[in-house]
Amino acid sequence: MSQTVATQNSAASLTGLLVPLADRTLLLPNVAVAELIPYRAPQTSDGAPDWFLGQIAWRDLRLPLLSFEAASGGQAQIASGARVAVINALGGRPKVKFLALLVQGIPRSFKVASDLPAADVELAPLELGAARVGDEVVRIPDLAGLEQLLADAGLI
C-alpha cells in the first residue's frame, strides 16, 4: 500500500518546463535545465551545420549553442527576447556536461499530470512525442539525440 501512495505522489509532483521556441513549444523536465541566461552572440566557426550556432561562454566553460528548430528541419531564428537554456547533457560523455539551446522567451513551470493527453501530430526529427497542454501542442524533444547530433558532427 505504501508503494502505491509513493507512486501517486511522485506522478503528482512531476514538474516540467514549457520552453518557447520560434515555431513550437518544448516540454522538458525541469531538472533538464541547469540555468536560463541572456542570449549572447556565440563564437562561430566556418563550415558548421546551420543548427550549430557556435560556442558560448558559461561559468568558465565553452558550450555548443544549438537551434532546435534548425536541427529538426526548420530555421534558426534569433528574435528580441531570445535567451539560452543551459541543458544538462545526458550522453555520459566525460567532457560534456552541458549543452546550450536557443530559446525565445522565458520558460514557464508546468505541473505534468500522469494523464497528460497525447497529441496526434506529425513529429519532426528529434521529437519523441507531443502532448496537449490546454489548446497548445507541446513537443517532447530527444535531448540525447540532440547531443548525439553534436557528437556525429564532431562538435563535442
Q: How far apart are CA 91 and CA 93, in angstroms?
A: 6
What does the pLDDT look like over 111-135, one tens digit per residue? Answer: 988 888 999 999 999 999 999 998 9
What does the pLDDT look like over 39-90, one tens digit per residue? Answer: 999 999 888 999 999 999 999 999 999 999 999 989 998 888 899 999 999 8
CB atoms < 10 A from the CB of 76, how many?
A: 17
Question: Which pTM value belongs to this model?
Answer: 0.86
For residue 116, give the C-alpha cell. 497528460
For residue 63, give the C-alpha cell. 558550450
Strand pairing class (98-104; 33-38): unpaired
